[in-house]
Structure 1
Amino acid sequence: MEQRVKEVELVLEPVAASPTPPEILMVEVDNVLHEDFQVTEEVKAMTAEIVKTIRDIIALNPLYRESVLQMMQAGQRVVDNPIYLSDMGAALTGAESHELQDVLEETNIPKRLYKALSLLKKEYELSKLQQRLGREVEEKIKQTHRKYLLQEQLKIIKKELGLEKEDKDAIEEKFRERLKDGVVPQHVMDVINEELNKLSLLDNHSSEFNVTRNYLDWLTSMPWGKNSEENLELKRAKEVLEEDHYGMDDVKKRILEFIAVSQLRGSTQGKILCFYGPPGVGKTSIARSIARALNREYFRFSVGGMTDVAEIKGHRRTYVGAMPGKIIQCLKKTKTENPLVLIDEVDKIGRGYQGDPSSALLELLDPEQNANFLDHYLDVPVDLSKVLFICTGNVIDTIPEPLRDRMEMINVSGYVAQEKLAIAERYLVPQLRTLCGLNEQKTSISSEALNVLIRQYCRESGVRNLQKQVEKVFRKVAFRIVNGEDTAVQVVADNLQDFVGKPIFTVDRMYDVTPAGVVMGLAWTAMGGSTLFIETSLKRPREKEGKDGPRDGSLEITGQLGDVMKESAKIAYTFARSFLMKRQPDNDFLVGSHLHLHVPEGATPKDGPSAGCTIVTALLSLATDTPARQDLAMTGELSLTGKVLPVGGIKEKTIAAKRAGVTCMVLPAENKKDFSDLPDFITEGLEVHFVEHYHQIYDIVFPRQ
């Protein structure tokens, strides 16, 4: 029989004899009887399954084992009675209270047994899952523990056999081993010993330990006292330089002089050179050839657009991720104290809020200071006096004067058509043909085709565009061969357009015959030399005299000219008026006329004083209505009194003049030394006049006047 709570009634009755009457809780209960049942086969089967499930749970979960086994063995009545068995089975589970209450309230014994069995099955599955998870966790712990024990045993065995030292001892031994073959300065050795002592006192897992270890790693990786064996044979060096590059005589002579001095001294020394010139003339590639000729290690880094001083001088060690600058990285990578370091695009170095890198280069490129170069990261002096520094740039105007003063400037000028042809035949065509997977049997390009390519497609001073065009030709040839259109292709002048398209330059000069008021000048830019026509025209004729007397003329200037060139035009206008009054007193054309001066092409910015002589000549040609000599071009700055001053870019301007078919040139007398240095194939066929005053130019340009 079972008792169930039917109703709960709270009755409070005071007791008179007691000073504090107690509260009495009274509960009224009724017995809830289960329904009668027959021990059917279904009941027997569920009873047996409950007993089996309980045994399985006991086997999986040792917490229930002892108490349940005693209950089932001592009281056989529990096992034999389905009512008690269902209650005991439900009590063994960790079911929710409402699920257990549901079992208690069920009076139908078969249903009660079924509900208890369902709860036991859930408990059994949960116990199996717990056992599997526990087994996996235990297995992982055992493996980790076993690995740790084996590692500790291995350490002890190696230590006993002398095969391994402690981590810190091994690190110290590694660092000292690096320094064994070098010649480390004493002040650097003191810093290394101090840092090693500091490292031995630090915990392996501390951040300071890693900072100190990285610092020692850089400090001991430096090539203290290690130099590559330099080539001092002039003949071999000359062969290497000639093998890789055509022309560039000034550069090659300077390197051979450097080798000769080193040979006489018996030791090598550093130098700071700067190659400047138009793009594509081989400034960067010649540096690699120089390194090969000298048998020095080669390292290149570009400073174009650099705005952070730390790129050169390194970061302080206090910063996270701090590193030395490029120079220290160079020494570590090349493993020598005398590499060749190429600092590319030095004229395009930037400036930002992190500092001025060009000022940081002052210490680096000063022969008097770089023997004790101090990097912010290493914080010890490093000797850079044996390093050969080569800087490159397109123009020198943007290089700061103090930096320019520390370098030996060598001009690498552009190439003329003959030089480009030789470079294409010797270097570009064989290299690019191999690069495109072709050989001489499959394709060839004639000298006439190369001449057309140079004259009508690639007029710049360098050969980079020529290289692109030749590669374009070979790519199209390769496509034709692979596509089955041809088995071999010969590129000549007649079929060149099939590979590179229509010509870019169809005429060599804007005017075949220059009229009065138009004169050809010469200009020079970072891209090389070019011809520059000065055009003058009458805007409005001389006006009649007014009340205030004769009215003065004017000069309008167009062509996107810079301030310097505008001032040069004003000086030329003033001088032309005074010069014409002396030569032709009756000619007052420039005095009262309103003139217009234009410099094509209008979209191209122009500046500089070197067109002064050309502007005066154009104004005088217009005033006298006399065309200038047709085969003549000139350049030169003009002072207010008519003195002709020197200009730059003589080689580039001479090349441009020859390309335009000029046979007579007028140059300032002080540029005679520059012209005399030019090779014969450039000056051949040119009639050159060196002048000091403009009246000499006038007699050359207008011989009949």
Structure 2
Amino acid sequence: MGDNNELTVPLLPLRGLLVYPTMVLHLDVGRDKSVQALEKAMVDDHLIFLTTQKDISIDEPSEDDLYHMGTLTKVKQMLKLPNGTIRVLVEGLQRAEIVEFMDREDHFAASLKTYEEGRAKDVEDEALMRTMLQYFEQYIKMSKKISAETYSSVADIEEPGRMADIISSHLPLKLKEKQEILETLDEKERMNRIIEIIHNEKEVLNLEKKIGQRVKRSMERTQKEYYLREQLKAIQKELGDKEGKTGEVKELTDKIELAGMPDHVKETALKELERYEKVPSTSAESAVIRNYIDWLVSLPWTKATEDDLNIRKAEQILNEEHYGLEKVKERVLEYLAVQQLTNSLKGPILCLAGPPGVGKTSLAKSIAKSLNRNFVRISLGGVRDESEIRGHRRTYVGAMPGRIIQGMKKAGTINPVFLLDEIDKMSSDFRGDPSSAMLEVLDPEQNHNFSDHYIEETYDLSKVMFIATANNLSTVPGPLLDRMEIITIAGYTELEKLHIAKDHLLPRQVRDHGLSKSQLQIRDDAFLQIIRHYTREAGVRSLERQLASICRKTARIIVSEEKKRVVINDKNVVDFLGKPKFRYGEAEMEDQIGVATGLAYTTVGGDTLQIEVSLSAGKGKLVLTGKLGDVMKESAQAAFSYVRSKAKELGIDEDFHEKLDIHIHVPEGATPKDGPSAGITIATALVSALSGRPIRREVGMTGEITLRGRVLPIGGLKEKTLSAHRAGLTKIILPKDNEKDIDDIPESVRNALQFVLVSHVDEVLSHALAEGVNS
């Protein structure tokens, strides 16, 4: 490459553009100094120097803002456009470098050093040209942005440097890179640089192609899925499937939004819904997820009934529907009063304990009605599997929530009255202990976070009013009893039964049997006859059955004999119910020797017990019969030892135990009997038999005995007293320590009985034994 002499020509700065030698192109010129430079060139020899600005944003560049290497060009044509801009056609002649920059008043000029090209080619030049051309061809094929004609025109070029410049002008290079090539004067070096640039561009194009294919594949898959979904929608629509799963998912989303779930539960529900949408409808998992979501949306999370805090109204409802049961009513009204004052009381957990038929379940319904709450009942009788309470895990086939969650769904509110019926009938086996699962349900400190295996999310039971019922508290585990407030319903007095039969049972049975009030009338004396001679129970179930029997027979008489009215009194009860089943007044007709009346407590209420003592010649053997339990046998032994130690004081032959065999029997040998309350009764019967003094027939007794003759307290006094009253006894002997329990006995029964409080057997004997001695 040769150098020419220096040359001074006008200078035109270019913005964002670079011109190589031999290139012909149009330029639009607008800046004043540039226009003046052009005009100066046209006046002279049409030569102008083009160089590129380093920063295109500068309007009036100085020498430092311009690259010093540029191109000497010839202005071929110049045209003024209507907007004042001048369009020129220039042809690059040769590389030139600024020797001296001149900023004249109206234009820039420069003194230049020019560089000639066109030396003789050697073999290396040829090889580089071929490589460069081959790379350029490959690039054109990959890029598809350059036409095949361009390649042909480039291939015809003979000069290596010119070929490099033309290829460079067609490559997508940054201005800085193009300037570097312009400044590379050595042709071999320039061609090597072009080969390297094309190689890099090919790599970039390859990468672009791969990315493009990947994006296309992804797009195609998405489009395919969209297309298939649209087809599926169309098919489902034709089949009347309400847009299939899409419609179903939308419906479920709305339900989840409206369910009022806590945030963590809502999040779980929406995640499961997302899974449900993706799982095919034919899959078994689809049904499992759908069932789970249905349970979540159907449970009450925030919906509650507003308590009717009108205490007078609540009391009226309880009194209308139930006669007696003062303690329970009082407890419910107390709860209502506290609720009215605080408005945030945790639901109490009550346990109504008592014999069958006393109205425990119907009382729970009345409580719900008086509170204006929803009522739900589950029966725990025979439940022996823990998962019945806590639910099964969803991994099991046919998994379901436990009975508590099922009950809450049925209730539909978070604050129902929830009846756990027959809590004493739960049993445990190898499948688990349901009573342990109930501990969390019935603990006011824990049940706000109740965990069901199926639902998995915690559920708040703290606003629920739980009421449990039990016949026999002895079978309920201690920890469970500890969580409940026990309210004992002992049974009804004759007077209470009379009221219940008249006001509740008879009207219901008359209605159920299609009769009217005027068609059947039962007198009070007939009611008492039925209560005394046809039923023996603490509750009123058997009484209701007897009334149902009367209603059936009445219905038949009215239909077949065309009578308009049936009246039942104590005389014609026998015609309707047959002969009496029980003897009213178990008290003996006269005073008996060796027969004492004891009072017993059973799971169906209280009962009277005759204890008989028989003496026969022998060697002091003590025989106990009547299917007695261990506790009762020990009471008999203690009574026997006491009588032996006090024989002289009691006026009994001191060596009776060496001459006589003693047989103690409690009738109804088929019925098992046990308990610690027969001690004083056995002792009284023994003393009576050995001394020949009769026992007063109207006296009943209960109490445990010690070897020193002390009388210890017993339980179940209310039930025992009611049975004594039913049996026609008038005097009750009971331990002094049981004095506090007398208040629990209904007033009508208290007034009809005489209570004798004793602390020693001597006092018992003085009240129980008659004065005379029967021979």
How far apart are the structure 2 equivalents of 1:314 and 1:644?
Answer: 51
Q: 1:511-590, aligned counterparts within 5 Å?
A: 511-541=588-618, 553-584=620-651, 587-590=654-657
User: Aligned with 2:709: secondary structure?
Assistant: coil
| Contact 2:417–2:466 under 8 Å retained in 1 | yes
How far apart are the structure 2 equivalents of 1:504 and 1:378?
Answer: 54
- Cα distance change on mapping 1:661 and 1:486 into 2, 3 Å: same
Q: 1:284-295, aligned counterparts within 5 Å?
A: 284-295=361-372
TM-score, structure 1 as length reference? 0.74
Q: 1:208: which partner in 2?
A: 285
Q: Note if 1:448 corresponds to 2:519.
A: no
| Contact 2:451–2:457 under 8 Å retained in 1 | yes
Consecutive unaligned residues in structure 1, runs of 5 or more: 1-147, 159-163, 544-552
Q: Note if 1:487 corresponds to 2:554.
A: no
Q: Which moved more, 1:432-441 or 1:237-246?
A: 432-441
How far apart are the structure 2 equivalents of 1:154 and 1:576?
Answer: 94
| Contact 2:735–2:757 under 8 Å retained in 1 | yes
Q: 1:257: which partner in 2?
A: 334
CA drift of 1:606 comes to 0.8
Q: Note if 1:177 corresponds to 2:254.
A: yes
How far apart are the structure 2 equivalents of 1:279 and 1:668?
Answer: 28
Q: Note if 1:389 corresponds to 2:466.
A: yes
Q: 2:660: which partner in 1?
A: 593
Q: Aligned AA for 1:334? A: A
Q: 1:461: which partner in 2?
A: 538
Q: 1:326: which partner in 2?
A: 403
User: Aligned with 2:401: secondary structure?
Assistant: coil
Cα-Cα RMSD: 2.3
CA drift of 1:267 comes to 2.6
User: Aligned with 1:629: secondary structure?
Assistant: coil
CA drift of 1:340 comes to 1.1
Match of 1:347 among 397, 417, 424: 424
Q: 2:119: which partner in 1?
A: none
CA drift of 1:455 comes to 1.0
CA drift of 1:657 comes to 1.5
Q: Aligned AA for 2:559? A: V
| Contact 1:563–1:607 under 8 Å retained in 2 | yes
User: Aligned with 1:441: secondary structure?
Assistant: coil
| Contact 1:296–1:338 under 8 Å retained in 2 | yes
Q: Aligned AA for 1:636? A: G
How far apart are the structure 2 equivalents of 1:187 and 1:218?
Answer: 16
Q: Note if 1:155 corresponds to 2:216.
A: no
How far apart are the structure 2 equivalents of 1:265 and 1:473?
Answer: 50
| Contact 2:592–2:696 under 8 Å retained in 1 | no
Post-superposition Cα deviations, 1:190-227, rounded to whole Å, max 9, x if no partner, equal 21232223223322322222211211111122211111
Larger Rg belongs to: 2
Percent identity of equivalent pairs:
47
Q: Note if 1:429 corresponds to 2:506.
A: yes
Q: 2:744: which partner in 1?
A: 677
How far apart are the structure 2 equivalents of 1:619 and 1:270?
Answer: 53
> Size of the alignment, in residue pairs?
543
Q: 1:638: which partner in 2?
A: 705
| Contact 1:572–1:613 under 8 Å retained in 2 | yes
Q: 1:653: which partner in 2?
A: 720
Q: 2:676: which partner in 1?
A: 609
- Cα distance change on mapping 1:487 and 1:165 into 2, 3 Å: closer
User: Aligned with 1:180: secondary structure?
Assistant: helix
CA drift of 1:690 comes to 1.3
CA drift of 1:349 comes to 1.2
CA drift of 1:485 comes to 4.9
Q: Aligned AA for 1:526? A: T
How far apart are the structure 2 equivalents of 1:264 and 1:363?
Answer: 28
Post-superposition Cα deviations, 1:405-457, rounded to whole Å, max 9, x if no partner, equal 11111101111111111111111111211211111332211111111111110
How far apart are the structure 1 equivalents of 2:310 and 2:627?
Answer: 53
Q: Which moved more, 1:574-583 or 1:443-452?
A: 574-583
Q: Aligned AA for 2:577? A: V
How far apart are the structure 2 equivalents of 1:507 and 1:597?
Answer: 25
- Cα distance change on mapping 1:504 and 1:222 into 2, 3 Å: same
| Contact 1:581–1:588 under 8 Å retained in 2 | no
Consecutive unaligned residues in structure 2, runs of 5 or more: 1-229
Q: 2:301: which partner in 1?
A: 224
User: Aligned with 2:305: secondary structure?
Assistant: coil
How far apart are the structure 1 equivalents of 2:475 and 2:498?
Answer: 32
How far apart are the structure 2 equivalents of 1:579 and 1:401?
Answer: 41
- Cα distance change on mapping 1:157 and 1:649 into 2, 3 Å: closer
Q: Aligned AA for 1:155? A: K
CA drift of 1:595 comes to 0.7
User: Aligned with 1:205: secondary structure?
Assistant: coil
Q: 1:472: which partner in 2?
A: 549
Q: 2:113: which partner in 1?
A: none
How far apart are the structure 2 equivalents of 1:581 and 1:359?
Answer: 56
How far apart are the structure 2 equivalents of 1:586 and 1:555?
Answer: 17
Q: 1:367-406, aligned counterparts within 5 Å?
A: 367-406=444-483
User: Aligned with 1:596: secondary structure?
Assistant: strand
Q: 1:131: which partner in 2?
A: none
User: Aligned with 2:550: secondary structure?
Assistant: helix
Match of 2:317 among 237, 240, 244: 240
User: Aligned with 2:646: secondary structure?
Assistant: helix
Q: 2:45: which partner in 1?
A: none
Q: Aligned AA for 2:440? A: E
Post-superposition Cα deviations, 1:116-164, rounded to whole Å, max 9, x if no partner, equal xxxxxxxxxxxxxxxxxxxxxxxxxxxxxxxx99993783999xxxxx9
Q: Which moved more, 1:223-232 or 1:179-188?
A: 179-188
- Cα distance change on mapping 1:238 and 1:643 into 2, 3 Å: same
- Cα distance change on mapping 1:413 and 1:302 into 2, 3 Å: same
User: Aligned with 1:522: secondary structure?
Assistant: strand
- Cα distance change on mapping 1:586 and 1:440 into 2, 3 Å: closer
How far apart are the structure 1 equivalents of 2:239 and 2:715?
Answer: 78
- Cα distance change on mapping 1:591 and 1:257 into 2, 3 Å: farther
User: Aligned with 1:172: secondary structure?
Assistant: helix
How far apart are the structure 2 equivalents of 1:472 and 1:156?
Answer: 62
User: Aligned with 1:267: secondary structure?
Assistant: coil
- Cα distance change on mapping 1:268 and 1:507 into 2, 3 Å: closer
User: Aligned with 1:667: secondary structure?
Assistant: strand
How far apart are the structure 2 equivalents of 1:437 and 1:369?
Answer: 50
User: Aligned with 1:617: secondary structure?
Assistant: helix
Q: Aligned AA for 1:152? A: A
| Contact 2:644–2:654 under 8 Å retained in 1 | no
How far apart are the structure 1 equivalents of 2:427 and 2:485?
Answer: 22
Q: 1:23-42, aligned counterparts within 5 Å?
A: none
Q: Aligned AA for 1:643? A: R
CA drift of 1:510 comes to 6.0
How far apart are the structure 2 equivalents of 1:585 and 1:511?
Answer: 25
How far apart are the structure 2 equivalents of 1:327 and 1:153?
Answer: 42
CA drift of 1:497 comes to 1.3
CA drift of 1:176 comes to 3.0
Q: Aligned AA for 1:648? A: G
| Contact 2:587–2:729 under 8 Å retained in 1 | no
User: Aligned with 1:574: secondary structure?
Assistant: helix
CA drift of 1:583 comes to 4.6
Post-superposition Cα deviations, 1:626-652, rounded to whole Å, max 9, x if no partner, equal 112332111011123322121122112
TM-score, structure 2 as length reference? 0.67
CA drift of 1:185 comes to 1.9
Q: 2:734: which partner in 1?
A: 667
CA drift of 1:522 comes to 0.8
User: Aligned with 2:309: secondary structure?
Assistant: coil
